[in-house]
Structure 1
Amino acid sequence: MSKPEVRVLAAGSALPGPAVDNAALARRFNMDASWEQWVDVFIGTRSRHLAVDLESGEIRSSLAELGTEAAQRALDAAGLRPDDVDVMVLGTATPDQLMPATVNMIAERLGINDIATYQLQSGCTGAVGAMDLGRQMLLTGEHRTALVLGGDVCAKHFDVDFDLKNMAPTELVNVVLFGDGAGAAVLTTEPVADAAVMHEILNRLTGLGRPPGQVVDWYGQANRRPGESALQEDYKAIEQLVPGMAMEVLKELLDRLGWTETEVDYLLPPQLSGTMTPRIVAELGLPGAEEISVVTDIANTGNAAPFIQLEHALPEMVSGDRAIGIAIESSKWIKAGFALGKV
């Protein structure tokens, strides 16, 4: 007996507060024009949305709040209600708390109960992991509609009293590289006309023997490592390794599906930074594929990014269109991707 097709009905997203551009960051942290220029040239991101108010330090949005908003938008776009959902999966590197799981707080806000819920602790590939687990749950035949989510809120790691002048480059890059946000998508095995079919998902750890490219610590009441940074990033290693990993994902997806490079209509590339993403797109070399990128205006939103890209791509796709999305995680080097098409 053949497996049912899993369709992507709709996607939705949510971003906190107004956009914060590089000039506003420079003013807040008393940095000169050369620093602002460094951000523009080296990072290439013009603005981002932050869950923390730069002036007061007040946290104005939680991941649960943003996830609920994104989920409701996705459900509305799919023409469904929260009680139509029978499995939920959230991928995040920054849950609001260790317990209770943020996915369950989102379910609470949506009024969802008596269903299976899962939370994946992961960086930028957690969104693809959520899609993968949701899809696998649907393929068992025991569930019909999955709400899959991804998002990150870095407010707990964003100190408005930072002294950027004394910050190491491995820490400084994180102040300007990331933005906050959440995204969601609705998957179903119902035979809905004009919905995109999720043809393939790849999600694979490839970090054996490689040092982590990003480390984010989560201290409890007993901080047993005083004086150490809670967040570090090896940006040079990321620049060196991510383009090749993205190419590996693309090649494997094309080979699995028997697609050629000219048959891809939309490319959803890794949303690392305003400078790195165009470099990766150029190396992938998909002639004729329309790039769906948002990183320049909203920064690297971690696990929200693939859903935000889907939110832009799905309404544009027409019958016969094919799309490939790629996500790479540097924490312990995970490569992930997905392929979908309108049939």
Structure 2
Amino acid sequence: MQPSQSPPPTPPSPGAYLAAVGTALPGEPVDNAMLARTFGVSEEWVDVFIGTRTRHFARDLTSGETRWSLAELCARAGEQALTASGVAADEIDFVVMGTATPDHLMPATVNHVADQLGLDQIPTYQLQSGCAGAVQALELGRTLVTAGGHRAGLVVGGDVCSKHLDLDRDLSGAAPSDLVNYVLFGDGAGAAVVTAEPRGHRVALRGVLNRFTGLGRQPGQVIEWFGMADRHEDRQAVHEDYKAIEESVPVMALEILWELLEDLGWDPGDVDFLLPPQLSGRMTRRIAEQLGLPDAVEVSCVADTGNNGNALPFLQLEALLGKIGAGQRALAVAVESSKWIKSGFALEKL
């Protein structure tokens, strides 16, 4: 859709704005052929069933060495966002981080990120959540700048999922529901500078949806924490009900889309860009088609980055900022299957 077909931009008003976005992916991309050699899985199965071509890992698959911590990746993304935004570090009034895979239980990873960025004497917040964590962090950042008293803040999201992979495990007889955890995920981080006035890219955050909808439902995904009392138990660290996810996420994504449109008073034709849920290459294609916005340009990354959780919305945003023009609008939809959370947000370029 051409910029001239979009509705006129809404004039600047007190609110929250994205000044810039930065991202960080560890190491070189790992393709399906390398996954097949490392884990003994079928390269063709990964291509067809998952539809993800490459992903990035903070661990070396040969030695098992962890080369990047989550804090290091988030700090790198934050530094890029700050540089691109033109917002100085001493203007940052808070840091909010969303993750499902912190480096430690204590201290919070967000504080290591702030330390590496040279930020001090400001509030920090860490939200532990899966794919919705980045949206929750954006919502909290938006609240902090719109409530007054904060000029700018850094919102960060990321995950290092490879820490849960058992590189010595024989997967030759594993069921597809088990194998998916070895081929679906990747590692990465992203960050956005959120401001109270339009700066940098001047993208207004028009609305955020964040709603728990898992009452009485079994989790679709569980990541275990092993303490001293249970660390030697013979159970997997990650459990995934991929069938439940395949059935539920497309339905929830459509509900999120229409809830956002209704809340904003936008028509489907007002949406120039769609940022759909990033589960896998195959699932994302299916969901984007079912959302039924044929005139909106899809912005996706998961086929090349893998499902790196809370980094994904920032990777999508980074791609969006290179495409969106004045007066154009974008909708992002994200679903968390751990205990079923609907989330999404709306943007408009001034």
Superposed displacement of residue 193, structure 1: 7.2
**What does residue 324 of structure 1 align with?**
331
- The one-letter code sitting in structure 2 at the alignment partner of 1:143 is H
1:238 counterpart (226, 245, 248): 245
**What does residue 14 of structure 2 align with?**
4
**What does residue 23 of structure 1 align with?**
33
Q: Does residue 1:13 correspond to 2:20, yes or no?
A: no
Q: Does residue 1:90 correspond to 2:90, yes or no?
A: no
Counterpart-to-counterpart distance in 1, 2:239 and 2:129: 16
Preserved CA contact (<8 Å) 2:85 2:201? no
Preserved CA contact (<8 Å) 2:18 2:201? no
Q: TM-score, normalised by structure 1?
A: 0.96
Alignment of 1:52-71 (within 5 A): 52-71=59-78
Counterpart-to-counterpart distance in 2, 1:159 and 1:229: 9
- The one-letter code sitting in structure 1 at the alignment partner of 2:138 is M
Alignment of 1:1-343 (within 5 A): 4-31=14-41, 35-192=42-199, 195-223=202-230, 226-343=233-350
Counterpart-to-counterpart distance in 2, 1:193 and 1:124: 26
Preserved CA contact (<8 Å) 1:21 1:47? yes
Cα gap change, 1:305 to 1:188, in 2 (>3 Å): same
Counterpart-to-counterpart distance in 2, 1:224 and 1:115: 36
SS of equivalent to 2:281 = coil
How high is the sequence identity, in percent, across the aligned residues?
A: 59
SS of equivalent to 1:165 = coil
- The one-letter code sitting in structure 2 at the alignment partner of 1:162 is R
- The one-letter code sitting in structure 2 at the alignment partner of 1:25 is L
Counterpart-to-counterpart distance in 2, 1:69 and 1:109: 9
Counterpart-to-counterpart distance in 2, 1:3 and 1:208: 37
Superposed displacement of residue 224, structure 1: 6.3
Deviations 1:86-114 (A, max 9, x none): 01100000000000000000000000001
Superposed displacement of residue 146, structure 1: 1.3
Counterpart-to-counterpart distance in 1, 2:122 and 2:113: 13
Unaligned 5+ segments in structure 2 are: 1-11
- The one-letter code sitting in structure 2 at the alignment partner of 1:127 is A
Q: TM-score, normalised by structure 2?
A: 0.94
Preserved CA contact (<8 Å) 1:262 1:287? no
Counterpart-to-counterpart distance in 2, 1:321 and 1:186: 20
Superposed displacement of residue 228, structure 1: 1.8
Counterpart-to-counterpart distance in 1, 2:98 and 2:110: 9
Counterpart-to-counterpart distance in 2, 1:30 and 1:271: 25
RMSD between superposed Cα atoms in Å: 1.4
Preserved CA contact (<8 Å) 1:261 1:287? no
Unaligned 5+ segments in structure 1 are: none
